[in-house]
Chain A
Amino acid sequence: AQSVTQLGSHVSVSEGALVLLRCNYSSSVPPYLFWYVQYPNQGLQLLLKYTTGATLVKGINGFEAEFKKSETSFHLTKPSAHMSDAAEYFCAVSDRGGYQKVTFGTGTKLQVIP
């Protein structure tokens, strides 16, 4: 069974500082990996995904993530935080085969301090 662990349910950064949100997964084979963002009272928006190919994945709003198989990690980063980045972020995995059932982490709330 797959699982996702997000370290830190709340992360605070200053505006302009580096954003680092951590995600580790457990899977018998390398899965598909995702980061989603959720703004208050809204649905989930896909930030980026890793399916195959280059392990450094660039997404929307300046975010990127690197798939590290040896560490079973898929940490999300952004060089400079903006106030508009304040939201909840979810790491997720899915199987490569079948219908790709998605398993989500418990989420990390990002606070950006002016």
Chain B
Amino acid sequence: NAGVMQNPRHLVRRRGQEARLRCSPMKGHSHVYWYRQLPEEGLKFMVYLQKENIIDESGMPKERFSAEFPKEGPSILRIQQVVRGDSAAYFCASSPPMVATYNEQFFGPGTRLTVL
């Protein structure tokens, strides 16, 4: 049973380019969460999605960032016109449908974005 998969694991972009980060949740999981970890900091919530719906994007920067989780395929976190401050590790987590009292989030290995 494969875990949460993220690709690429490392991504280098120059300022002004676009970055696309992909997350494939665990089998049977329909909820996806994106977190950002800046150097020397903890993880910060960005967005929570279910299939074809954004449930909570309160942690997403207002500009340049967007996320989607289509009916088919992985969830995508897209960063347009990247700046050096976007350099961070981006983690995806997934959880099963909310049928239990507690639903654990399972984390992927992360994508480390470096903006030159």
Residues in A lying within 8 Å of B, measured CB to CB: 9, 32, 36, 41-46, 49, 51-52, 90, 99-107
**Which residues of B lie under 8 Å from residue A44 when comparing CB positions?**
43, 91, 107
| Chain B residues, CB < 8 A from A36 | 107
Per a CB cutoff under 8 Å, which of B42, B43, B91, B98 touches A99? Answer: B98
Q: How far is the CA of A46 from the CA of B102 in the complex (A)?
A: 14
Which chain A positions have C-beta within 8 A of B102? 32, 49, 51, 100
List of 10 A-B pairs having minimum Cβ-Cβ separation, nearest first: A104-B42, A43-B109, A44-B107, A43-B107, A106-B42, A104-B43, A51-B102, A107-B42, A43-B110, A43-B108
Report yes or no: A105 in contact with B108, Cβ–Cβ below 8 A. no
- Does chain A have a CB within 8 A of B71? no
Q: What are the residues of chain B within 8 A of A45 when measuring CB–CB?
A: 107
Q: B interface vs A, CB < 8 Å?
A: 4, 31, 33, 35, 40-45, 48, 55-56, 91, 98, 101-105, 107-110, 112
In the bound complex, do residue B48 and residue A101 qualify as a contact, i.e. CB atoms below 8 Å apart?
Answer: yes
User: CB-nearest residue of chain B relative to A101?
Assistant: B45
A85 to chain B, nearest CB (A): 19
Nearest Cβ on chain A to B31's Cβ, whole angstroms: 7
Q: Which residues of B contact A49 (CB under 8 A)?
A: 102, 104
Which of A52, A100, A103 has a CB less than 8 Å from the CB of B103?
A100
Cα–Cα, bound, A78→B45 (Å): 29
Give CA–CA (A19, B107) in the complex, Å: 25
- How far is B44's CA from A107's CA once the two chains are assembled, in angstroms? 12
Tell me whether A42 and B43 are in contact in the complex, defined as CB-CB below 8 angstroms, given that A51-B102, A99-B56, A101-B48 are known contacts.
no
The chain B residue with its CB closest to the CB of A51 is: B102
Q: What are the residues of chain A within 8 A of B4 when measuring CB–CB?
A: 43
Residues of B within 8 A of A100 (CB): 102-103, 105
Inter-chain CA distance A46–B31, complex, in Å, is: 18
